[in-house]
A and B are shown apart, each in its own frame.
Chain A
């Protein structure tokens, strides 16, 4: 294909972007319209009309129950996620650096990672002597740690030894090598793990709030279902979906800023 003149290329790129954004909005809108149409005709009590759900959504979340239920959920996600990231990196770096430590620790990590979160939910209440925030945050943090941990180990193992030797030859101490070389070099993979952790945080948050809880969007969802209030239940589902979507969007923005060098570097690599 003949290259377009720069001006035309810019224009077509802008057109493409506009179309892309339009599609991202138009397709969900069409699906919602279909939902509304279908539910109006079917009148199945399990599937309330979209308009009913939206009215319910506005009543519940904008903003009468926002403080009592959404804020606690967000706090749990935030705290659990941060603890998971810090723990995953702090444990992952030494494991990535030492073959012996990996040999010893990896079977345990693989085992606990393989245990599905619901299996540990009941015991977490007993072990942590708590049905409050402590248990929920710990539960979220525990499961969200694994993607960060495994990606940190992989990222650290994948570092070019020349880079570490460069640090060593310039007399950088062990901690300084980790801080100046190992951590930034492994960061792209760590951040990829963090992104997986974040979506896992939403899942485990809802799960933790199903069990011995008195607040949070997961709690509202389950209570609504148990009392056959299906419109509020659907409103909670919509909210949780939006929450996950927005958190991921925020994270992508953060990732773009933090790893701007990585995109440029990869684009410049000959291989």
Chain B
């Protein structure tokens, strides 16, 4: 279980002090798919980096299976939004996927098998010898996902992973991540600014306020699985949930001291 308790992050000191994250608490059960959605610039990435152990929080703590996170935990993998910046352009797809395994105590064949399995899970078996920059954006993000899977994490953190691909590819990648989630049995925390995506994927949607960030509401999503881009999204429950999350965020977009309707701006 992943537990985020009273997490806060402040940048700078004195007059320049900015509260990126005010206070966030929520829990993620083993095997759960939780999406985190909020207005843009609300400190979603800061939150994820604190959870991943890359950034020390100013207040509060993150617990993974009861242990406090102080450095990047071994059972956790992070997929960044910008695949073109997180993949190594000098290494083949296979060597990119191999990167997190090199320092693990594994046999050569074991390592190779993990890499091939991960590539197969994202349908990139034939592209192991290519360089990442020879592939399309969607395929590059699949390389990044394969790398995370090869690491064999119990928790997968994803920071707006599909934000920089086109809509068609995005749908495909959403279905791919649902399939992988099912096959690998991982827990996923998925940050996005896309409301449809947050509802479509999740067991629960964590809606955040604008910065300084708090949890606005946690919305349970009980849509039937397996989900389908057409069938699920046409369900009245989907439309209703989507509308609910949308309203929560739209209300957030309006600054509290400014009550003018957004439509007139």
Contact = CB atoms under 8 A, between A and B. Distances in A.
B54 interface: yes
A168 B77 CA distance: 10
B100 A181 contact: no
B25 interface: no
A162 interface: yes
Contact of B89 (A167, A172, A173, A265): A265
A10 interface: no
B85 A264 contact: no
A104 interface: no
Question: Which size class do A's interface residues fall under?
Answer: 20 to 34
B52 to A, nearest CB: 6
Contacts of A166: 78, 80, 86, 99
B88 interface: yes
Contacts of A171: 72, 74, 100, 103
Interface string B65-83: 0000000101011101010
B103 A169 contact: no
Nearest to B137: A270
Contacts, number: 66
B70 to A, nearest CB: 13
Contacts of B76: 169
Contact of B77 (A162, A169, A181, A262): A169
Contacts of B246: none
Contacts of B100: 170-172
Interface of B: 49, 52-54, 72, 74, 76-78, 80, 82, 85-86, 88-91, 99-100, 102-103, 131, 133-134, 151
Given A261-B89, A265-B90, A268-B134, 18 more contacts: A162-B86, A163-B85, A165-B86, A166-B78, A169-B52, A169-B54, A169-B72, A169-B78, A170-B77, A170-B100, A170-B151, A171-B72, A171-B74, A171-B103, A172-B100, A184-B88, A262-B89, A262-B90
